[in-house]
Amino acid sequence: DVKVTQSSRYLVKRTGEKVFLECVQDMDHENMFWYRQDPGLGLRLIYFSYDVKMKEKGDIPEGYSVSREKKERFSLILESASTNQTSMYLCASSSMGLGETQYFGPGTRLLVL
Amino acid sequence: GENVEQHPSTLSVQEGDSAVIKCTYSDSASNYFPWYKQELGKRPQLIIDIRSNVGEKKDQRIAVTLNKTAKHFSLHITETQPEDSAVYFCAAPKGTGRRALTFGSGTRLQVQP
C-alpha cells in the first residue's frame, strides 16, 4: 500500500518567515510533485522532480524552491512567506513512465499571517 | 505547455441520474488522460484513465470518452449515488517525459438523495 506523508497537517507562519514543507514516500517512486490547491483553481503544479537532485518548474514556481537530496524525500521551501501563499499544499509521487498513478499525501494547510 | 479546461465547475444531480463532466486540452501530442476524485477533506485519488489509442473505457458505473480530433474527453457517471458527491479533476500530461500532470480546475458534483 503506497504511503505518502507530509510533515504537518496545519501550519501558521508570519510574513517573511522561511517555511519548509516536507514530503516522504515509501514506494521507491522516481517522481515527486508539489501542488497547491485553491478554490476554483484546481491543483496547480509548483515543482516536480524525476530523480534525486533533479527538479523542473511547474506552472507556478515563483516564490518557491525545492530540494530532493534523497529519493524518498521532497521538500518545498518558501524562502520568504507571503500572505498570497496561504493555501493547501499537496505532495504526490509516482513511478517512472507515462500514465503512472500519482499518489497524494494528506496535504498541509498553510496560513501566512 | 499543456492547458486543460474543465466544465462545469459545479453540478447537482438527483440520485440515480447521470452526470457528465467535460475537459478540453491544448497539446495534440497528449496521449494519457486521468480522472481524479477528491472527497471532502481527503486526498485526490485516481478513479479512471484513458490512453489515446482507445475512444472509450468503462469501469462499472463510470466511463471516460476521448475525442482526439476535437481534443476533448469526458467523464460519465451513471446511476449516481450520494457517495459520488466529490470534486472531480481531469488532467493531461506535461513536462519532461510527460511525467507531470496539468489538472483542470475541478467540478464539484453534488448528488441529491
Residue A48 has its nearest CB partner, among B1, B95, B104, at B95
For the cut 80, the answer to whether the pLDDT of residue A1 exceeds it is no
Output DSSP code: residue A102: P
pLDDT of residue A99: 75
**Beta-sheet pairing, B62-67 with B56-59:** antiparallel
- For testing contact with chain A, the best of B39, B51, B52, B101 (most A CBs within 10 A): B101
Residue A56 has its nearest CB partner, among B96, B102, B103, at B96
CA distances from A91 to A58, A84, B3, B36, B113 (A): 13, 19, 21, 15, 34
Would you list the DSSP string of A23-56? Answer: EEESS--SEEEEEEEETTTEEEEEEEEEETTEEE
Asked if the C-beta of A40 comes within 8 angstroms of chain B's C-beta atoms, the answer is yes
Query: A84-106 pLDDT, tens per residue?
Result: 999 999 999 998 877 789 999 99
